[in-house]
Every structure is written in C-alpha cells, then in structure tokens.
Structure 1
C-alpha cells in the first residue's frame, strides 16, 4: 500500500491520548471509610495489584478511530493486485534544427529501437527518420511544452526531453513532468546570430560579449552576428505631444541617446508627407499602426494589442514620471528601440540548478482506485465512531 501524503501517518501517534486519558480517569476515584467493612471476611475482599484496565473494548475502539483517521488523511492507494504497467519511453523534441543536429545520434538510436520520437507541440507530430522540422512549426514556448507533456500518460511514460536551455523557459514558475524523466539540454548562446545597427561615421551598434551596448567600427569577433544590419541609415523619428514640456523632455532624451551611441536620428515634430517613420513617440493612440514603425505611446491607461506599439501610463515629464525625474528616460527609450530591432542582450543559458528547480516531477495516482479505497475506509470510520458513542453512553465512560 502506498500513500499520497505519507508524512500524515505520524498523526497515528495520537493514539497515546485516549490511553493516557483512560489511566488518568481511573485515578480520579477516592477512598471513603465504610463502617461495614469490618464485617467482610477476608475471602470476600479482593486485592488489586498493578494496573487494572476498565472498559478495555471502548479503549481499543477509540485507538482504532485515531489510527484510521491518520490513514484516511494520508490518502492510501491500494496496488497489491495491480499488474506493473508497461513503461513506454517517449522522446519529446523541441522543433529546432540546432536541437536535432546536436542530438541526432540519440534520436536516431531511439527510432531504431522503435521508441516514440515526437515534436514538442500540441499535435505531438512524429519526427521523421531524416529529423526534418514540421512543415508549419509552431513557436516553441513553456506553455506549449507543458501542453504537450500533459497529453502524455504520465504514469506509464519515461519521458526524454530535448530542448535548448534558454531563459525563455523560466518565464513560468514550473513545468510539471512525469516521475520518470530525463532532460537533455544544450546551450542557446551560439544558435542564433546577434543583430546590429549602423551608426554615424561608419560605426556599428551592437551588444558585445560582456552584454554592453557598444558603438564601434568593427563587430565583436568572438560572437556571431547577422550578415546584414537590422536597420541601416537614418532613423526617421516623429515626436508629437500635445504637452510642450513632454515634447521637449522626449527630444532631450533622444538627443542624449543619439550622442552617446552615435545613432543617426532625424526628429520631426510634425509629420512630413510621404516620409516613412521608423520611430514615433506620441501621447495619442495610432489609428492605423504601420508594421514598419515602432510606436511609444505615453499617458494611455487602456493599451491596444499591437506588437509594435509600446504603452506607458505615465506622462513623460519630471513632475509626473519617476523615470524622467531619475534620468532613466534615455536608457528606457534605448531599450525599447534595441529590443524592437533585435539588439537586446543575449540570453544566458539556464544552469543545471535552475533547470532542476524548473522541472517538477508529479506522479498522479489512479483516482478511481484511490476514491474507492478511501470511501470504504470512511465507512469503517463512521461505523467505529457510532460504536464508540454507543459504548460510551451505555457504560457511562
């Protein structure tokens, strides 16, 4: 017999309580002098030595009640007659070329053994012998991974998971996996090339290995970058605010950003006809947002769902924004701009300790079997409780 909460069996030690009360109750009697005692013969007098147990059956019933209550709280699972299930080994693979290339030998060996090798998506699509990606691979995320794992039979599955250990996995508190689980990970730092922008004077704006934004004529030779810049040339910027102080504050922040990182920014306060703007900062909702433009909208409490529209409910003035008051506005604007063009800091791989804390094993018992056993024990408990009350009332104990 197994228990879901075995530590609650320590509650069975409470059986000592009714025993102690029983002996204490026996000591409550007092000796009273009785004149007729002298007329009793010695043969009629009974000598009592040691400890005498009265109402022993009632005491046993009360002890059984406490033991049975502890067993019920521990949630027993009866598996004496259950046959050991056949364990199926399943290999769950992240839809990524780098993952399949890195674990090609392991996956090929699993396929030769006839083991199930599937992609980590909602459909659990089988992986072909050539390990080619699905025709329409879905974006991999922790939520999609959890959905795929939930579709497996956790009790009868030995899961082998093949993923990249990037920081995106830590966007959820935990990922529940079967008790039989093995994780195969690879670092993600070398799988995707970094982006960069062109700046004034032939310089390039990029994130170096130390994670610092750098403006230099040459890229960091220790990292791999994209073959072409994410944006080259002048960054056409439109700054339109109804509040003149907010407009001046934002223009000053953009000037500081351009001066520090040699960004080639041209700032307009009014839209110029037939000019395509890469960056628009405003306090008004865009009616028809262009997909080629990054919008930073301030003072809006009800944002609209667009990937290229960033909202802040602050009015960007020193009196109304802590970000402006502390001088963090240029840095914040730069982060939004760099993230939009894919120049955000490279994500470090999760450590083994982080991965161990992220993936939580869970063994789900057979709920029907568990409910049936607990219902039977509950009936026994109710019966013993009724018997205990009847004995206590009839014997005045």
Structure 2
C-alpha cells in the first residue's frame, strides 16, 4: 500500500490522547453516596495495587477511530491487488542538433528496440534514424518542454527527456513531469558550438567569452561555432499597433538596435498576406502563431504557452511604460531577439541540485482505484463514530 500524503500518518500518534484521558479519568474516581459505608472502612484502608481498565472496548474503538482517520487523510492507494502493467519507454528530445549528436548512441539504441523517440516540438515529430528534424527548432524553453510533456500520453510509461542545460530553464518555477522520469542533459556549455546570425554587410552577431553581444566581420577563433548561421539576411519585421505613439516608439527602438548592432531589419507596418515574418511587434495576440516567428504583444495580461510569444501588460509609450521612460526598450527588444535565435543560451548551466528542484514529479494514481478505497475508509470511519457514540452514551463514559 502506498500513500499520497504519507506525512499525515504521523497523526496516528494522536492515539495516545484517548489513552491518557482514559487513565486520568479513572485516577480521579467517582464518589457514590451509600448508607452502609461503615462496613467498608477496613477495605478502604487497604492500598490498591495495579491499574484497572474499565470500558476497555470503548477505549479500543476510540483508538481505532483516530488511526483510521489518519490513514484516510493520508490517501492510501492499493496497488498490490492488480497486476503491474508493462512499462513502455518514451524519449523526448530537444530539437537541437547538438543534443541529438551528444546522445546519438542512446537514441539509436532506443530506435532499435522499437521505443518511441520524438522531438519536443508542437507536432511531436517522430525521430528518424538520421536524427534530423524536418522542422526548424524555433524558440525552445521551459514552456515548450512542459507543452510537449503534456501532449504525450504518459500512461504506464517512463519518460526520458534530453535537453540542453542552461539558465533559461529557470524562467519558470517548476516543470511537472511524470513519476517515472529520467533526465539527460548536456551540462558543459563550453564544449557546445555556439550559434550566430549574419547581419548587414556580412557581419557576424554572436556572444563573446564575456557574454557580451558582438557584431564583427569574423567569428572569434578561440570559440567553437555552429557550421551554419541560425539566420542570414534581412529580418522581416512587422510593426502593427493601433496606438500611433506606440507605433512610433517601437520603430524608434528598432532603429536604435540597427545603429548599434547593424541589424538588417526590413520593417513593414501593414501585414502582407502569406508573408512569413521573422519578428512581429503588435498589440493583438496572434491567432495561429508560427514557431519560426518571434511575437512581442503589448497591452495584454494573457500568458501564452509558447516561448516565442512574449506578452507585456504595458502600452509601449513614455507615459505608460517604465521601459520606455527609462530608455530600456531597445535593450529589452534586443534581448528577446537574441534569445529567440538562441544566441543567449550559452550561459552557466544549472547545477544538478537546481535541475532536480526544477523538475517536479507528479504521481497521479488511478482515479477509480483511489476513489473506491477512499469511499470505503470514509464509510468505515462513519460506522466506528456511530459505534463509539452509542457505547459512550450507554456506559456514560
């Protein structure tokens, strides 16, 4: 038998309370007036040895009642009566070439065994033998991980999660995983090839060894970079706000980013049908957001479940936004952009203790099994309460 809340079983120690009350009640005794007390004077002068347990059955019923109540609150689960089902293996992999290459042997063995091996994206695309995804990885973060886990049928399965360990995982307080769970992560970020993007005039935009964003004609030869840039050429940007002042403020911030880092932003103010934008800044939540597009939505308190949709409840004007008033809007937009392209993922990885605290297992027993046992225990508690009250009233105890 297992318990969902085993800590409450310490409540069974309360069984000492009725026992203590019982002995204290007998120690005090009761005065019964009787005319022939002179015949008992000699008997009263004798010392009474030992303890007498009056109403022993009532005491036992009260003790059992407290123990059953503690067991009921601990929510027991009976799993010995049913045959344990076969456990299947599911491998959920971050759509990142570095992660796939690092765990190539484990994933190849899982594919040989016929186990389910899938990419952690919106479509849960099956992984082929070449370990290459037909989709762009897009923005990947803790919300993407949680969304992929929620989509997988985890009944009678053991989940294996393969991810890149970085500080971005700590953007959420916790990631809920099943009770059968194993984490496989790349802990040393220094050995991973860094991403970069190619901006105006062929300049490379990347993070240097100090973690600073650099725009340079050549990549740093002391660092290891990916074979291909994450993005090349103009960044198609849509700026569409109903508020004219907000529209002007955002466009000015994008112009400042272009001057500092040499970004090649192709800004449009009206949406073109069938045009896939790289960056959309607006005050309207997208109906069908693309994973390849970074959305920055102002003036909303809703929180989407995808990492590429960033929302803020501020209207981006100097009168309504602290970021705009203090001149931090260009910096904030730049951080969102480099995170979207993965440039900021090469920070100090989380420690093992931080990772263990981040992934919280959720044990969900079978609802029918738990409900049946809970109802039976609750009915038994009610019956024992009725028996205890009847015995107490009958014996005036």
Q: Is the TM value for this pair above 0.5? A: yes
Deviation at 1:125, TM superposition (A): 6.2
Deviation at 1:13, TM superposition (A): 1.2
Kept in 2: contact 1:205–1:215 (CA 8 A): yes
Deviation at 1:73, TM superposition (A): 1.2
Q: Which residue of 2 aligns with 1:147?
A: 150
Kept in 1: contact 2:90–2:158 (CA 8 A): yes
Kept in 2: contact 1:18–1:62 (CA 8 A): yes
Q: Which residue of 2 aligns with 1:179?
A: 179
Gaps of 5+ in 2: 299-313
Q: Which residue of 1 aligns with 2:305?
A: none
Kept in 2: contact 1:196–1:343 (CA 8 A): no
Kept in 1: contact 2:197–2:205 (CA 8 A): no
Q: Structure 1 pair 311/110, CA: closer, same or farther in 2 (3 Å)? A: closer
Deviation at 1:383, TM superposition (A): 1.6
Q: Which residue of 2 aligns with 1:77?
A: 77
SS at match of 2:220: coil
Kept in 2: contact 1:205–1:214 (CA 8 A): yes
Q: Structure 1 pair 15/31, CA: closer, same or farther in 2 (3 Å)? A: same
Q: Which residue of 2 aligns with 1:17?
A: 17
Q: Which residue of 2 aligns with 1:279?
A: 267
What is the alpha-carbon root mean square deviation over aligned residues? 4.6
Deviation at 1:29, TM superposition (A): 4.0
Kept in 1: contact 2:91–2:160 (CA 8 A): yes
Q: Structure 1 pair 147/34, CA: closer, same or farther in 2 (3 Å)? A: closer
Deviation at 1:227, TM superposition (A): 5.5
**In 1, Cα distance between equivalents of 2:378 and 2:297:** 57
Kept in 2: contact 1:146–1:175 (CA 8 A): no
SS at match of 1:53: coil
Kept in 2: contact 1:209–1:223 (CA 8 A): no
Q: Which residue of 2 aligns with 1:6?
A: 6
Aligned positions, number: 365
Q: Which residue of 2 aligns with 1:377?
A: 377
Kept in 2: contact 1:118–1:124 (CA 8 A): no
Once the two structures are overlaid, the 10-residue window that deviates more, 132-141 or 348-357, is 132-141
Deviation at 1:161, TM superposition (A): 2.8
Deviation at 1:396, TM superposition (A): 1.6
Q: Structure 1 pair 50/6, CA: closer, same or farther in 2 (3 Å)? A: same
TM-score w.r.t. the length of structure 2 is 0.70
Q: Structure 1 pair 174/310, CA: closer, same or farther in 2 (3 Å)? A: closer
What whole-Å deviation, never above 9, does each CA across 1:58-107 have from its counterpart, x for those lacking one?
Answer: 11111111111111112222344444444444434444444333222223
Deviation at 1:359, TM superposition (A): 2.1
Deviation at 1:195, TM superposition (A): 0.9
Q: Which residue of 2 aligns with 1:345?
A: 344
1:101-112 equivalences in 2 (<5 Å): 101-112=101-112
Rg (Cα) greater in structure: 1
SS at match of 1:193: coil
**In 1, Cα distance between equivalents of 2:161 and 2:316:** 47
Gaps of 5+ in 1: 266-276
1:133-212 equivalences in 2 (<5 Å): 133=132, 141-149=144-152, 151-154=153-156, 157-166=157-166, 169-186=169-186, 190=192, 193-198=195-200, 206-212=206-212
Q: Which residue of 1 aligns with 2:389?
A: 389
Q: Which residue of 2 aligns with 1:274?
A: none
Q: Which residue of 2 aligns with 1:66?
A: 66
**In 1, Cα distance between equivalents of 2:338 and 2:123:** 35
Once the two structures are overlaid, the 10-residue window that deviates more, 63-72 or 52-61, is 52-61
**In 2, Cα distance between equivalents of 1:90 and 1:295:** 35
